[in-house]
Structure 1
Amino acid sequence: MNTAGHSEATARRGLELTPFRGLRYDPDRVGSLAAVTSPPYDVVVRPDGLHHLQDADPHNIVRLILPQATTPAERNEQAARTLRRWLSEGVLAADAEPGLYVYEQRDGDGLLQRGIIGTLRLSDPAEGVVLPHEDVMPHVVADRAALMRATSANLEPLLLTYRGNGSAAAASQAVERAAEQPPLLSTTTEDGFSHRLWSITDAADVARVQSDLAQHQALIADGHHRWATYRRLRAEHASPSPWDYGLVLLVDTARYPLRVRAIHRLLHGLPVAQALAPLDGLFRIQHLDVPLPEALESLADAACAGNAFLLAGDGTFHLVDRPDQDLLSRTIPTDRPAAWRTLDATVLHSTLLDQVWHIPEDDPARIAYIHDTAATVRKAELDGGTAVLLHPVREEVVRDLARQGVRMPRKSTSFGPKPASGLVLRALDL
């Protein structure tokens, strides 16, 4: 069984992972490997986090994945110039031979995650090989596509999960054997995670991994916009070409289960009092004068019984739950499974954003999507807006909906830990 519960016998072909010559930082040319890494582009909290990363090292990867200039065209050209300069100066260099890369993450709480980085053949949705579970925002796909065109590079891997066949599987054995060897790199980032990277270059080992993965399908855990970008760029180039493949990290969740967290919303220009006013009589509203951890516990308890949200931004917290059922009947589409209709993200987008607050979900001037809970609250308090905090969706709900081909509202889940950006890149012209 695959991650999303599909019968793998229904697929015409499975995962096709190929080796590539990774671009990696030369440790002698940068302050430290930790100082040049970054969270994925959509996790960086801007502008605070962006400036912090830029100041960490003049060669931080954020200068490629989130270049700063006046116009989008100038930003992308700046990233392309920066990449070319770093290559010519030897700051980034390609490994001598193609390989698959084993990537390990550990934190101080005992979490261990290992997976395989390679270039994956881009499949069509009808093939059912790579299963998305969230909708995407067209302007984000267009932005990422323009950056990839300009740099001719996959600057950071997206995260895919699959369900392997236990420790006897060839891919698992290759991962564990590699992890017994001295790593290509080892570093600890400021979030407390340690990162190690190895390469698998032996042709027989690569073939065994490929044969194993060819039996499986994968769920997109993180990187829906980049996957959509890969597919758009593939359609723009005659096949065969390097654009037929995209950079991914594949994690076997039978061995290394991922964490599932929520992605929160920051509503610009909507003070908390104005957000709460139209909810009176439509939801139960409880004011919580408690610290953030206790407020999140109250949210978790309420989410067990039904839809619940935590609003913040005025120095306190407001638990919003028990929505009026007539309101939901009028605002939630009925052409989807019950599991989709009852998602907190569905109620947030279809009912609150669309019908109550009238905020377009794809307007960056009105709404931001932030992974870090405390940062969402802090920015709402600083900006005078409203933070809408959500409780995480259970992973089995995500898998079940993906199996049915049903997309969740955009930015519904945050699987992790996510791969650090900057440890290995892919240049398409190598």
Structure 2
Amino acid sequence: MAILFPFRAWRYNPAAVRLDEVVTQPYDKISPAMQQAYYQSSPYNMVRILLGLPELFDAERGESVYSRAARDFNAWREQGVLIQEKAPCLFAYAQTFKVPGALPGSEVVKERRGFIALGKLHDYADRVVFRHEQTLSKPKSDRLNLLKATRAHFGQIFMLYSDPAGSVEKILYDGNGVPDTQITDEYGVNHRLWRISDAATIRLLTTAMRDKKLIIADGHHRYETALAYAKEHASQQTAAHPAKAETSVNSLPAPPYPEAAVMMTFVNMDSDGLVILPTHRVVHGLASFEPAAFIKSAQQYFTVETLAEANAAAYLNTLQEQTDTAFVVVTPPGSWLLRAKSDAMAKALAEVPERQRPLDLTQLHAVVLDKLLGLDAEKVREQSNLRYLRDAAEAVEQVRRGEADVAFLTRPVSMEQLKEVAFAGEVMPQKSTDFYPKLLSGLTVYALD
């Protein structure tokens, strides 16, 4: 069962900073250009903690991006740039946005509603929290270094729960009035937060969530990092951090020790506000890559259709017209549509769980990347020759600029596919989903000390 806790969040002080100058997209969505822009927007921008820039002579000075992050976080609290809530609370969190990819004049506006709270960390074996995709080595090492240095969580793990009747949202949003925080980000997404400190409402909400199972939508790396850190500290439950997990009439639930929970945003997977975008693959730096030879070898597993040179939007439209597994291959001399041959694919994926065999990304990773290009699971985990891009146009342009050998344009995974795989205890390839929009980092902070 999902166990939730209110918390005394640290938040930016509106008397000290403008919120739109200090919050950021999640760390893994911050490009070098965005990083520079965030740095320039404010000396208190959250990027300085989440994704700091290295400086000259760091090694000689015994400094690092992590030590600077810890120093900045402590200084901002001392200076009143960040201030702490006086009482434990939760936060209703709504995002209104245009769905990307629509043609001009046909935009669709949606609202995604959720709430921010602490969630107890569980091993996947407990079957309370479910993952849906593999993780990568480097991001987990990086996030663990930051967590150890700062002892704080600055962004939320994006969690999905099932509630077809929408009962949790009714507790949160019926009559909640004017938001106490409102901001529009660089993608035009409007973010709104309402503080919920009423003890009766908090108890009602945490009770309503107790029978829920959770799927990680975004934040697998940070979740696994927080879980590993919690296990390191599990034996350190001393008088300084007495167990407080049980509720009583006059108290609110609290984690048994600070590291046992992490900040999460919970969203109903049955709501209309969930949007999943595709994440395209770009392969670069191969020792040798001959497009003609690659296509010839691909014909063992796929029917191959030559496509006229076009822009990314045209390629994606072609993909959307397909009813079976398919993806578009873009190389410098030409582009192709690949559609799986069912018999050949069944043999190639004989060791893959049956429910995953029809998935575009399963076939792309297991057959194309591994068998045809020699990028095995270890190379994919280390990202030595692979980049992941939301922007199909950028993926195509990297190939045409000579910065990549080949790009693979894909379709998004559906919510039904994700649920089926996750609740079966299985995982899809890394970066299988891209939920839009992202949860802003810096809206709330959970400090362990």
TM, length-normalised to structure 2:
0.84
1:250 aligns with 2:266: yes
The match for 1:132 is 131
**Contact 2:136–2:382 (CA<8 Å) still a contact in 1?**
no
Give how far 1:406 is off. 1.2
Provide Cα deviations, 1:221-279, integer angstroms capped at 9, x if missing partner: 11111111111111111254211001100012334441111112222225997355312
Q: How does 1:361-372 map to 2 (within 5 A)?
A: 361-372=380-391
Q: Secondary structure of 1:214's partner?
A: coil
Letter in 1 for 2:126: E
The match for 1:259 is 275
Letter in 1 for 2:174: R
From the superposition, tell whether residues 244 and 54 of structure 1 become closer, same or farther in structure 2 (CA, over 3 Å): same
Correspondent of 1:311 among 320, 329, 344:
329
From the superposition, tell whether residues 77 and 285 of structure 1 become closer, same or farther in structure 2 (CA, over 3 Å): farther
* Comparing 346-355 and 390-399, the one that deviates more: 346-355
1:174 aligns with 2:174: no
Separation (CA, whole Å) in 2 of partners of 1:358 and 1:272 = 11
From the superposition, tell whether residues 285 and 69 of structure 1 become closer, same or farther in structure 2 (CA, over 3 Å): farther
Correspondent of 1:352 among 364, 368, 373:
368
1:321 aligns with 2:307: no
**Contact 1:116–1:249 (CA<8 Å) still a contact in 2?**
yes
Provide Cα deviations, 1:283-318, integer angstroms capped at 9, x if missing partner: 41423322221210112223x222x2223464x872
The match for 1:199 is 195
1:375 aligns with 2:378: no
Separation (CA, whole Å) in 1 of partners of 2:275 and 2:334 = 25
Correspondent of 1:47 among 6, 26, 32:
32
Instruction: Report the count of equivalent residues.
Output: 407
Q: Aligned residues: percent identity?
A: 30
1:226 aligns with 2:213: no
Q: Secondary structure of 2:52's partner?
A: coil
The match for 2:50 is 65
Separation (CA, whole Å) in 2 of partners of 1:82 and 1:337 = 47
Unaligned runs of 5+ in 2: 99-107, 238-255
Separation (CA, whole Å) in 1 of partners of 2:257 and 2:66 = 22
From the superposition, tell whether residues 403 and 286 of structure 1 become closer, same or farther in structure 2 (CA, over 3 Å): same
Provide Cα deviations, 1:298-343, integer angstroms capped at 9, x if missing partner: 12223x222x2223464x87233124567635643x2333221222
TM, length-normalised to structure 1:
0.87
Separation (CA, whole Å) in 1 of partners of 2:228 and 2:15 = 37
Letter in 2 for 1:130: V
Separation (CA, whole Å) in 2 of partners of 1:209 and 1:370 = 37
Separation (CA, whole Å) in 2 of partners of 1:381 and 1:67 = 31
Letter in 2 for 1:209: L
Q: Aligned-residue CA RMSD in angstroms?
A: 2.5
Q: Highest Rg: 1 or 2?
A: 2
Q: Secondary structure of 2:223's partner?
A: helix
Give how far 1:218 is off. 1.3
From the superposition, tell whether residues 104 and 403 of structure 1 become closer, same or farther in structure 2 (CA, over 3 Å): same
The match for 2:247 is none
From the superposition, tell whether residues 163 and 413 of structure 1 become closer, same or farther in structure 2 (CA, over 3 Å): same
**Contact 1:371–1:414 (CA<8 Å) still a contact in 2?**
yes
Give how far 1:125 is off. 1.9
Give how far 1:185 is off. 0.9
